[in-house]
């Protein structure tokens, strides 16, 4: 990085972090990328959208930040994926060219070998003079040496490019994960959820949607700080996936809210899954390493709705969300299924 670029990056960094603190945004790398882009002014549409929100109040919610990232920044990840794909294709083409060269050399040597064998047989049969035998032997040796050199070069080339391809594959996998997974919890993200739900709706699959919201999450942040809140989010996400990974798919919907898609199960079956998970969550505890304070009880509320024939994604989401808030109104730490 040249001196000017370093100075500019430092300037943007010094602007981004105070704004995140001011608007009460968790200072994680995931959200820092959003506010860095905002302060750098690289996405004018993003700046207009953020300005419209912060002018109305003193904070920007985590869900709003997630929406901004999905709407304005995910295209950058897509471009990176395209770049990596092109690099892999170029490397494959290079390997193909090297292989073609080696094959050509091999074919040439095969011709030399065939011709030499024939001549050597003639030497044996006709007892030709020593000079002719030496010439044939020389041609055979030279062909062998040329093939050996070409093979060694090819092996070195393959080894170097295989290392580069492995590195590119890993980077490609990292970018794919960033595009579909939540940076904090490791769960699939809202973008992945929207794609999966749209596919279920399009295929009219039998699917139940479970909406999960951590109870009193704002109090954790207010009393212990955002770092403790992040710890709660990660441990809840981990417990959800532990209890549901064999029967359902867990997504971070936004903020302290998660969504779960359960296929090929009745709403009663989804209710049993949610109830088992609810009981597992209330046994969790988290300790603040700095202060030693401990959260002994973490609970969550659940709303469950089953996709109806011909129903749209927005309608299913609205029904599951309404049931979730009904669970909240009825005392929290409970599952509210939408039985018909």
Residue 322, in any domain of the structure: yes
Q: What is the average pLDDT value for the chain, to the nearest integer?
A: 79
Residue 71, in any domain of the structure: no
Kindly state whether residues 84 and 118 are assigned to the same domain: yes
pLDDT of residue 35: 84
In terms of phi and psi (left: phi > 0; alpha: psi -120 to 50; beta: otherwise), the region of 254 is left
Residue 289, SS3 per DSSP: coil
Contact 292, 326 (CB under 8 A): no
Kindly state whether residues 194 and 333 are assigned to the same domain: yes
Choice among 58, 108, 223, 256 that is catalytic:
256
Lowest mean pLDDT among 2-16, 37-51, 61-75, 184-198: 2-16
pLDDT of residue 240: 95
Distance (Å, whole) CA 248 – CA 242: 10
pLDDT of residue 9: 73
Residues 201-225 pLDDT 10s: 988 888 999 999 999 988 888 888 8
pLDDT of residue 172: 61
Residue 70, in any domain of the structure: no
Kindly state whether residues 230 and 168 are assigned to the same domain: no
pTM, rounded to two decimals: 0.57
Kindly state whether residues 295 and 209 are assigned to the same domain: yes
Q: How confident is the model at residue 20 (pLDDT cuts 50, 70, 90)?
A: confident
Distance (Å, whole) CA 75 – CA 262: 29
Domain boundary among 180, 204, 232: 180
Kindly state whether residues 36 and 55 are assigned to the same domain: yes
Strands 257-263 and 286-287: what pairing?
unpaired
pLDDT of residue 60: 81
DSSP state of 336: E
- Chain centre to alpha carbon of residue 294: 32
DSSP state of 181: B
Residue 237 domain boundaries: 190-337
Where b means 16+ CB within 10 Å and e means fewer, 215-253 reads bebeebbeebebebbbbbbbbbbebbbebbeeebbbbbb
Residue 69, in any domain of the structure: no
Kindly state whether residues 218 and 324 are assigned to the same domain: yes
Residues 135-172 pLDDT 10s: 766 666 666 666 666 666 766 666 676 676 666 666 66
Distance (Å, whole) CA 336 – CA 305: 9
Burial of 324 from C-beta contacts in 10 A (0-12 / 13-18 / 19+): buried
Kindly state whether residues 150 and 110 are assigned to the same domain: yes
Domain boundary among 133, 148, 180: 180
Kindly state whether residues 195 and 171 are assigned to the same domain: no
Residues 307-338 pLDDT 10s: 998 899 999 999 999 999 999 999 999 999 98
Asked if the model's pLDDT at residue 269 lies above 60, the reply is yes
Kindly state whether residues 296 and 320 are assigned to the same domain: yes
Share of the chain above pLDDT 70, in %: 66
Kindly state whether residues 200 and 329 are assigned to the same domain: yes
Kindly state whether residues 136 and 226 are assigned to the same domain: no
**Dihedral pair phi/psi, residue 253, rounded to 5°:** -80, -35
Lowest mean pLDDT among 82-91, 153-162, 249-258: 82-91
Asked if the model's pLDDT at residue 113 lies above 60, the reply is no
Question: Which of 181, 301, 294 has its CA nearest to residue 228?
Answer: 294
Residue 121, SS3 per DSSP: helix
Asked if the model's pLDDT at residue 198 lies above 80, the reply is yes
- The CATH number of the domain holding residue 317 is 3.30.70.270
Residue 66, in any domain of the structure: no
Domain count, the chain: 3
Residue 264, in any domain of the structure: yes
pLDDT of residue 52: 85
Asked if the model's pLDDT at residue 83 lies above 90, the reply is no
Domain boundary among 157, 180, 203: 180
- 256 annotated active-site: yes
Task: Say which residue, 176 or 262, is predicted with more confidence.
Answer: 262
Kindly state whether residues 235 and 321 are assigned to the same domain: yes
Task: Say which residue, 73 or 169, is predicted with more confidence.
Answer: 73
Detail the DSSP E strand segments found in the chain.
207-214, 248-254, 257-263, 286-287, 294-295, 300-306, 335-337
Contact 150, 101 (CB under 8 A): yes
Q: How confident is the model at residue 187 (pLDDT cuts 50, 70, 90)?
A: very high
Q: How confident is the model at residue 13 (pLDDT cuts 50, 70, 90)?
A: confident
Average pLDDT of the residues in 37-65: 81
Distance (Å, whole) CA 87 – CA 168: 8
Q: How confident is the model at residue 122 (pLDDT cuts 50, 70, 90)?
A: low
pLDDT of residue 315: 93
Q: What angle do CA 192, 194, 197 make, to 5 degrees?
A: 105
Contact 34, 68 (CB under 8 A): yes
Residue 205, in any domain of the structure: yes
Residue 222, in any domain of the structure: yes
Question: Which of 257, 84, 83 has its CA nearest to residue 167?
Answer: 84
Q: 212 to each of 166, 235, 276, 332, how far by Cα in Å?
A: 39, 14, 13, 11
């Amino acid at each position: 990085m040249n001196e000017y670029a370093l100075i500019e990056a430092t300037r943007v960094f010094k602007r981004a972090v105070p704004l995140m603190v001011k608007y009460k945004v968790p200072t994680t790398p995931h959200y820092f990328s959003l506010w860095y882009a905002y302060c750098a002014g690289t996405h004018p549409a993003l700046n207009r959208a953020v300005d419209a929100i912060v002018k109305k109040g003193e904070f920007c919610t985590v869900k709003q930040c997630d929406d901004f990232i999905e709407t304005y920044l995910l295209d950058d990840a897509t471009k990176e994926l395209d770049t990596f794909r092109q690099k892999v294709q170029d490397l494959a083409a290079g390997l193909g060219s090297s292989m073609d060269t080696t094959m050509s050399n091999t074919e040439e040597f095969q011709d030399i070998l065939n011709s030499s064998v024939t001549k050597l047989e003639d030497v044996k049969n006709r007892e030709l003079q020593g000079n002719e035998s030496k010439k044939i032997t020389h041609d055979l040796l030279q062909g062998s040496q040329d093939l050996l050199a070409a093979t060694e070069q090819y092996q070195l080339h393959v080894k170097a490019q295989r290392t580069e391809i492995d590195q590119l594959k890993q980077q490609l996998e990292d970018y794919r994960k960033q595009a579909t997974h939540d940076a904090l919890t490791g769960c699939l993200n809202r973008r992945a959820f929207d794609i999966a739900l749209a596919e279920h709706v399009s295929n009219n699959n039998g699917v139940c949607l479970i909406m999960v919201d951590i109870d009193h999450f704002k109090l954790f942040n207010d009393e212990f700080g955002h770092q403790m809140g992040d710890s709660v989010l990660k441990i809840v996400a981990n417990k959800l996936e532990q209890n549901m990974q064999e029967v359902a798919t867990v997504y971070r919907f936004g903020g302290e809210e998660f969504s779960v898609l359960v296929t090929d199960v009745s709403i009663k079956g989804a209710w049993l899954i949610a109830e088992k998970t609810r009981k597992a969550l209330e046994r969790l505890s988290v300790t603040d390493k700095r202060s030693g304070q401990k959260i002994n009880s973490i609970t969550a509320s659940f709303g469950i709705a089953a996709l109806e024939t011909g129903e749209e994604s927005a309608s299913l989401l609205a029904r599951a969300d309404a049931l979730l808030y009904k669970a909240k109104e009825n005392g929290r730490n409970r599952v509210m299924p939408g039985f018909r």
